[in-house]
Amino acid sequence: MQKSRLAISFLAVTPFLTACGNTTTVQVLMDGAEAPQPVSDHEVQFLPFDRDSLFQAIAAQSSTPEPQVPADLRAAADSVQVLQAAWRDAEASWNEVRDSLRGISDQLQSLDARSREYRELFDGFGAMEGRERSLNNRRQNTFDAFTALQQTTQERLDSVRAVIESWEDVAFADYNDIETDLLEGLGRQIVYDTTDATGYVTQTLSGGPWWIHSRVRVPSGELYWNLMTDGAADTLRLEPGNAERRLAF
């Protein structure tokens, strides 16, 4: 069968190392406000083969080429994220000024309107009101631009996704059978585990090499990892810097 031949040919180019019980520790991290943050209760897969290469080998045998996301659509999706970040920054600045206005208003109510302190605070309140209006306009304009581009971009992404998913349904229809044949040939299995509260997971893996696979959803899509390890490093960190950032559909 074709799927069996593909598994056999893939085995022929899969590297084999002899090792017994290498301990592999992985930590999963994602973007945080100031520094990467651990991802807890998150699945990590330990595979005895390169899943990306296997998908590429299967795709290469497809009777039709794999559909691609147009470059201008990727650029538009990036612009959506930039506008979203700008809107959130404007929203935060606007809220900060509004909080200051409330604080000044509370102070004014407790002061004699004829006092110097009252007049100074009142003048400052007036100047800050102008800044609040300016920030509110920027916030609203940025939000409108973000939502408009997001809507049109998402409509195009949905159309592209339908085409890609239709192609994948055909091209990868035998993937599970090919994977089963490959694992039988390797004499190993995929190991699944879950990170703890600090984002760590540790497995003792026989043979090698192994590929560590995981993915984390982020606003712009997902962080995707498929990294080879021979267990030599103390800890393999899956972090934004060594992830492939994939587009969200």
pLDDT in tens, the chain (249 residues): 455 667 766 666 666 554 455 789 999 999 877 788 999 999 999 999 999 999 999 999 999 999 999 999 999 999 998 999 999 999 999 999 999 999 998 888 888 888 988 888 888 888 888 899 999 999 999 999 999 999 999 999 999 999 999 999 999 999 999 999 999 999 999 999 999 999 999 999 887 789 999 999 987 789 999 999 876 667 899 999 999 998 876
Evaluate whether residue 54 is within a structural domain: no
CA pair distance 200, 168, nearest whole angstrom: 33
Evaluate whether residue 243 is within a structural domain: yes
From the list 12, 28, 36, 44, the residue with the least C-alpha distance to 212 is 44
Query: E strand or H helix at 73, and its extent?
Result: helix 71-109
Same structural domain, 160 and 198: no
Nearest 5°: the CA angle 30, 175, 67 is 70
What pTM does this model have?
A: 0.76
Tell me the CATH number at 33: 2.60.40.1120
Residue 203 phi/psi, 5-degree rounding, is -135, 145
Range of the domain at 96: 71-169
Under a CB-based contact definition with an 8 Å cutoff, are residues 215 and 223 in contact?
A: yes
Same structural domain, 29 and 118: no
The two three-digit tokens of residue 100, written as one number:
């200051």
Quickly list DSSP for 139-170. HHHHHHHHHHHHHHHHHHHHHHHHHHHHHHHH
Evaluate whether residue 156 is within a structural domain: yes
Same structural domain, 44 and 78: no
Evaluate whether residue 182 is within a structural domain: no
Same structural domain, 194 and 160: no
Residue 228 phi/psi, 5-degree rounding, is -80, 145
Same structural domain, 164 and 192: no
Evaluate whether residue 159 is within a structural domain: yes
Residue 44: partners with Cβ closer than 8 Å, 6 or more residues away: 26, 28, 192, 193, 194, 195, 201, 212, 213, 214, 238
Same structural domain, 153 and 199: no
Evaluate whether residue 58 is within a structural domain: no
Evaluate whether residue 180 is within a structural domain: no
Evaluate whether residue 220 is within a structural domain: yes
Same structural domain, 148 and 219: no
Boundary of a domain, candidates 138, 169, 200: 169
Number of domains in the chain: 2
Same structural domain, 30 and 108: no
From the list 187, 183, 185, 205, the residue with the least C-alpha distance to 20 is 205
CA pair distance 81, 149, nearest whole angstrom: 10
